[in-house]
Structure formats: C-alpha cells, structure tokens
Amino acid sequence: MACSDDDTIESIDASVTPGSLDLTLDTMVGNEDFQLDTEYSIAGERVSFTQFRYWVSNIVLINKAGDHVEIPNSYFLIEETGALSIQDGAYEYPPNKRETINLSAVPGGEYIGIEFGIGIDQRYNDNLSLQAGELSQLNGMTNISWMWHTSYIFTSIKGSLLDDDTTLVLETGLNDNYHTVNVALENAVEVSNTAAQEILLHVDLASIIEGIDVRTTPVVGASTPEAMELMANNFAYKSFTVAPVANED
C-alpha cells in the first residue's frame, strides 16, 4: 500500500511485480572516505574515530506520482565499529561494518525521493520491550545505552583528539531529537523484479559535529542538551547528499 501526501490510501498496481532496493549510506569525512583509527582534520583538530553508529528508521519511498510508499518494520542499525564490551565485560559485541540496507518486496515503479528517520520514534523509544525490524534489547544500541537504560541511543560517535588523547563520546537521543531526513534523488530509481537497484547517499561525519567545539565539549549527551540538539539537527539536515553518478568509460 502507498500513502499519498493527503494521507489517502491507494492500492499498488498488482500487475507490477515487486523488486529489491539497496540503500547505501557511505560515510565520509568531508571529501575523504571514512575509516576507523585514521587521522582527520576537523575544525582545526586532529581527530581519529573508533566508532560511528546510528539508527535508521521508518523508511518511505516517494514515487513519481507523489505517493509515499512506507517500508514496514524498517528499523536498521548502521555502524562501523570495533569490538565493544557490553554489560561490564559480560559480553562482547563483535566488530562490524554495515552501510547498506536491503529493502525487499518494494512495489515496482520509479522513485524520485526517500525519507527516513535518524533514531527511534517515540513509540518504540519509550518502550524497549516492543520489537520491530532490528529493534531488540539484545541489539547493540540498547545494551550500551545511556539515560538509565530506558531508551535508545540514536547516534554514537567515539574517538579521540590526537594532540592529547582526549576521549570523544558524542551521542544523541531523546524523543525531541528524532528527525526525518528528506532526500530528492537526482535521477529516478526504477524498481522491478528484473534487476536490483541502489540509492547511494554520502554521509559527512564532519557535518554532524559542525559547530560543536569538541576540545571544550568532548562528551555530548543528556547532560549537554544544546550540543546534543545541534548534533541531531546537523545529522538530519546537513550531512546527507546524493552521491554523484560515476562516469562510465
């Protein structure tokens, strides 16, 4: 089913066979590809990162007719991280790099836009016992959560300032910091059962922490609400761009 802009429900043409669509969120630092344990220069600071993790939720595709096609149970953990110690060392979360989400059974058609949330919407954020998609109390962002283990971390960036080894822990959460990303695609993506398609977006990590003086505020979280709000806004409204189409020689 698809919801149009006026929230009316319209039937998807049953003659159009569903297909699959990959959403790839390629992390960058400015114009450089993101790698763990690699030196970057951001706002005059020499920085290295050990972790970048965030939730993508409530994915909606917009077709040429303007219909909004909701992807059910779309809660995905995007991450690039080394091994993480959980529950005071009782468990170890293994190293992982995951930038691509596979969406199956997508109604066939041409899509010109995509929307998704960064973080977890209030219904699920307020009740960790509810499960949908990859949401589970056994999944990483809950087990190492903050705010008394009662809600999800939306975004977690960890690393250090290389000049003096200052530890960086930059995180967002709380319902007011859940935002929706809206991206218009430069070229329509046609979904069918004949070939897998991909939407490729760049995510600029430097843009996420723009305006935050990590030298004076190396820890961002519930105790620094203004910095956390700025970080959440930056992520949703500044960091995503459509990747340029590679030239075919």
Residue 238 in this model has a pLDDT that exceeds 60: yes
pTM more than 0.75: yes
Q: Which residue has the higher pLDDT, 83 or 219?
A: 219
Q: Over 70: is that where the pLDDT of 245 sits?
A: no
Q: Give the model's pLDDT for residue 226.
A: 97
Higher pLDDT among residues 244 and 69, named by residue: 69
Q: Is the pLDDT of residue 30 over 60?
A: yes
pLDDT-derived band at 14 (thresholds 50, 70, 90) equals: very low
Mean pLDDT for 11-19 is 59
Instruction: Give the ranges where 27-183 is alpha helix by DSSP (H).
Output: 122-125, 140-143
Residue with tokens 């996420």: 208
The pLDDT of residue 249:
47
> Cα–Cα distance between 161 and 126 in angstroms, integer?
34
Count the alpha carbons within 13 Å of 130 in the hemisphere toward its beta carbon.
Answer: 14
Nearest by Cα to 221 from 172, 185, 163: 172
Residue spans of the domains in the chain: they are 2-242
Kindly tell me the sign of the dihedral angle through the C-alpha atoms of 189, 111, 175, 102.
negative
CB-facing half-sphere around the CA of 9: CA atoms within 13 A: 1
